[in-house]
Structure 1
Amino acid sequence: MIGNLVFHIGDPKNGSSSIQQAMQQRACHCETVSYVCQEELNASAMAYAIDPKRRAEKEQGKKRRKLLFSQKADWARSHEADLGLISAEFFSAVPPKALIKALEEFMPQYTETARIVAYVRPHAGRALSGYAQRVKTGTELCTLDESIEGQKKRRMLKYAQRFLRWQNKFGDRFTLRPFLRSEMRDGDVVADFFETVLQGAPFRLDPISSTNESLSLEEVAAMRRVQRRLVADGVPEFMRLSLGGAIGRALAATPGRYRTKMALSRAHAEALKTLFVEDAEQLDQSFFGRPLMVGELNAAIEKGLLQGQSLEPLDYYPETQLWRLERIAGDIARLVNAQPRGWRLEYQRRIGQRLDRIEDQKDTEVLRENATRVWALLDELIAELLPPKAAAAE
């Protein structure tokens, strides 16, 4: 049986994908502490199952919760290791008491010993990267100006009270690390994560490929058009999220793409400081003992652009190329709406998020054909997201 569990709970946009890829690849080698990782790429399904905001149907939610935590209990019993690592960035939005209750019910041996590790990205950087991520996955299609104005209502960047709830429930078994290169081991979140999890035991890391790489400014602008078409054609949010993830992964491996980094204007940074300076002060006082988060808010203002960047697709792509993007997005929408299990199941299998295969499903040939056609269209879409000259050469 596993000796103890460590839950990595995010936050989102804090290197979770890289950590999970390193876990899945067993990239960390330690001679003094043995560990085993979750079989799936991430444990998001577990996090969703105990999130009261996501359990729309109470009875169905209870069944899902029982199934997933029972499976993880079986996993813990079937392995001999000092540590079991479970990672899902969406645990960070779950009430800590919901995780404790699930442990008490399904894995009581870990209730008093389980450890929690979280990372927190400074407010300004998180607001920017979160916006780009939401555009990529189709959950936000407004301008950056509108997104920052909307931060007044968002709760995820109100860090202090949320992380204090975890600390109050888990005490010194909760560790919050700043997502800052200057503060992380070797300036790398993967190295820092294993340093934290292994509590200083010596280890070495195999290199891992870049994952969940941020989109460029130009790509974010174009994705607003792509995702707007998917929304207009009735593609559900969970499917838009997977399509955005696939596009991002493909672009990360594509040469000749746009490379302009998104940046905040000085006005954006000043607005974010006004919104979050009190939270930053509380976070620094409660967890870091020095002005890390406040300092980053000030630095964002100093580095801010005098004029904001354009997110108008026509500033980077000709209308004919944008029209082709929308047409391809429309073709993708028809296919995934017709067979929601086809391409998405294959995508989740490819990235290790689920272990079953199309071959395990009914209508195997229909699903496989659907997936093949969607992949081909995604290749076309990636080509159209390249700069006009590069796209024309494809």
Structure 2
Amino acid sequence: MTKALIVHIGDHTTGSARLQRCLAGGHARADEFKLFYPQVFGSELHHNRAAHALHAADPKDSETTCFKLLQPIRDGDADMAVISAEALEFADPADVRDVLESHMRWLGKQARIVAYVRPHAERFLIGYEQQLRLGLFFGDLQAFFDMTRADGRFLYHTRFERWKAVFGDRLTVRPLLPDHLVGGEMLSDFLDMVFEGRDYTLSDLPPTIERHDLAQHEIAMICALQGRLRGVMPRSAAHVLGGYASRLLTELHDDTAPGLALPPALAEQIVSTYAEDAQAMDRDFFADTPLSTALDALRHQPGSADWPDMETAAQFDPETARLVGVWADLVAEIYKDMPDKWGRHLFAPQFSFPRPPAPQTPEEMEAQRAQDAAGATGPDTDPDKGPETEAGLTPPATPAEDA
């Protein structure tokens, strides 16, 4: 049986995708130490499907999905196994405990739970950007603040107290701040726990493919697309499309353009709303006051009095805004015409993302015209036929917030 287990439960927007790419790709290794990261849900690098299964209406579905993930861990011989599912942020800790212990007995009883949290203002701003990009929210910053304050999603202490009550000292919570992480960043910190302080090598890890600090005009482009697809494309597909567009824009990111920033009036609302929660987290989970210090610093950070406007008319000149609208309309029409053909484009393996082909040379164009005239398309070049294994793919259901 596997000797030890770490369950990574998020939070969202703390670097989970990079961690999962590292573990799924086998990029981290240590001598004479066997690390196991189960990949049992197709091309998905995370284990969020099991997290969602905890809420399944049919208990049999939940049991089947969780067994599929946990059985190879139980029957394996690794020194350490890792489960990574940021969707567990929304789970009931008692449900997680019951599933682990019912499937893995003593290993489940010893499993460690690890979570990372951003300072409140960062989590709020990154969460807003992410929800815009994924087509999950369409309002302004104030509306997002009002909604999240009402539903309490960025209040940490009560949630982690529940995890602590169930898992006790097997729970580790770290603030996502360089001074509080081994190696100054989340991946190094987590791998230090995985390898239990041993030396390890990290090789050939793909670069970050999605960023949380796109420029305002880049976010506005994605918002225009999501707004046009609202009610046309299923929410889960729009979620995937937004992530895909974000990755493409990352490769062309304009570092000189302004990103999202908190206006001073909203920053003060965030400080007053989350100060008590930050103090409670610092008192009960950290050795010093990282979250309170971050909130205090927010009061002294320079900020623009202007509220960000993600409408294309506010971000582009009239002609560019019109072209962005035409592009969004075109994407919507293509989707409506062939919704079941998008699988091979949007749900490609997460380690590589297709780029537009290089322009044809005049000679290649002439050869293509000759081929078309002869009707020699062939089965492999039928533009209306995608790979049989990918046609009609449906993306998995996603939580209210991802990444």
Distance in 1, matches of 2:331 and 2:105, equals 46
- 2:50 corresponding residue in structure 1: 46
Distance in 2, matches of 1:69 and 1:332, equals 37
Deviations 1:147-167 (A, max 9, x none): 122222132211011011111
- 2:210 corresponding residue in structure 1: 212
- 2:294 corresponding residue in structure 1: 296
Deviations 1:99-126 (A, max 9, x none): 1222233333432111111000000010
- 1:15 corresponding residue in structure 2: 15
- 1:26 corresponding residue in structure 2: 26
Instruction: Verify: 1:111 aligned to 2:100, yes or no.
Output: no
Q: CA deviation at 1:78?
A: 5.2
Q: CA deviation at 1:310?
A: 2.8
> Normalising to structure 2: TM-score of the pair?
0.80
Root mean square deviation of aligned Cα? 2.7
SS in structure 1 at match of 2:136: coil
- 1:383 corresponding residue in structure 2: none
Instruction: Verify: 1:202 aligned to 2:206, yes or no.
Output: no
Alpha carbons of 1:138 and 1:284: their partners in 2 closer, same or farther (altered >3 Å)? Answer: same
- Opposite residue 295 of structure 1, the aligned amino acid is T
Work out which of the two has the higher radius of gyration on C-alpha atoms and give 1 or 2: 2
Match of 2:86 among 74, 85, 89: 89
Q: Say which structure is richer in helix.
A: 1
Deviations 1:151-189 (A, max 9, x none): 221322110110111111111111101101222222221
- Opposite residue 36 of structure 1, the aligned amino acid is F
- 1:184 corresponding residue in structure 2: 181
> Normalising to structure 1: TM-score of the pair?
0.82
Alpha carbons of 1:33 and 1:304: their partners in 2 closer, same or farther (altered >3 Å)? Answer: farther
Instruction: Verify: 1:4 aligned to 2:4, yes or no.
Output: yes
> How many equivalent residue pairs?
355
* Greater mean alpha carbon deviation, residues 84-93 or residues 328-337: 328-337
Match of 1:278 among 273, 276, 279: 276
Q: For 1:1-394, what aligned pairs fall within 5 Å after superposition?
A: 1-39=1-39, 40-50=44-54, 52=55, 55=56, 58-59=57-58, 62-77=59-74, 79-206=76-203, 207-214=205-212, 215-231=214-230, 233-254=231-252, 259-311=257-309, 312-336=311-335, 342-344=341-343, 347-351=346-350, 366-368=385-387
Distance in 1, matches of 2:312 and 2:159, equals 37
Distance in 1, matches of 2:202 and 2:4, equals 22
Gaps of 5+ in 1: 354-363, 373-394
* Greater mean alpha carbon deviation, residues 166-175 or residues 317-326: 317-326
Distance in 2, matches of 1:174 and 1:209, equals 29
Alpha carbons of 1:256 and 1:300: their partners in 2 closer, same or farther (altered >3 Å)? Answer: closer
Q: CA deviation at 1:202?
A: 2.1
Distance in 1, matches of 2:171 and 2:53, equals 22
SS in structure 2 at match of 1:212: coil
- Opposite residue 223 of structure 1, the aligned amino acid is I
Alpha carbons of 1:4 and 1:343: their partners in 2 closer, same or farther (altered >3 Å)? Answer: farther
SS in structure 1 at match of 2:109: coil
- Opposite residue 45 of structure 1, the aligned amino acid is R
Q: CA deviation at 1:230?
A: 1.0
Does the CA contact (< 8 Å) of 1:265 and 1:304 recur in 2?
A: no
Deviations 1:186-237 (A, max 9, x none): 2221111111233322223224401321222221233222211111x43221
- Opposite residue 207 of structure 2, the aligned amino acid is S
Q: CA deviation at 1:309?
A: 4.3
Q: CA deviation at 1:141?
A: 1.0
Alpha carbons of 1:128 and 1:176: their partners in 2 closer, same or farther (altered >3 Å)? Answer: same
Distance in 1, matches of 2:225 and 2:208, equals 24
Distance in 1, matches of 2:88 and 2:121, equals 22
Deviations 1:34-55 (A, max 9, x none): 21113141111111111x3xx3
Q: CA deviation at 1:135?
A: 0.2
Alpha carbons of 1:267 and 1:304: their partners in 2 closer, same or farther (altered >3 Å)? Answer: farther
Alpha carbons of 1:86 and 1:292: their partners in 2 closer, same or farther (altered >3 Å)? Answer: same
Distance in 2, matches of 1:345 and 1:44, equals 22
Does the CA contact (< 8 Å) of 1:20 and 1:87 recur in 2?
A: yes
Alpha carbons of 1:149 and 1:44: their partners in 2 closer, same or farther (altered >3 Å)? Answer: same
Deviations 1:65-89 (A, max 9, x none): 1221121133224532111111111
Distance in 1, matches of 2:148 and 2:267, equals 12
SS in structure 2 at match of 1:303: coil
Distance in 2, matches of 1:12 and 1:185, equals 20
Gaps of 5+ in 2: 353-382, 392-403
Q: CA deviation at 1:256?
A: 5.3
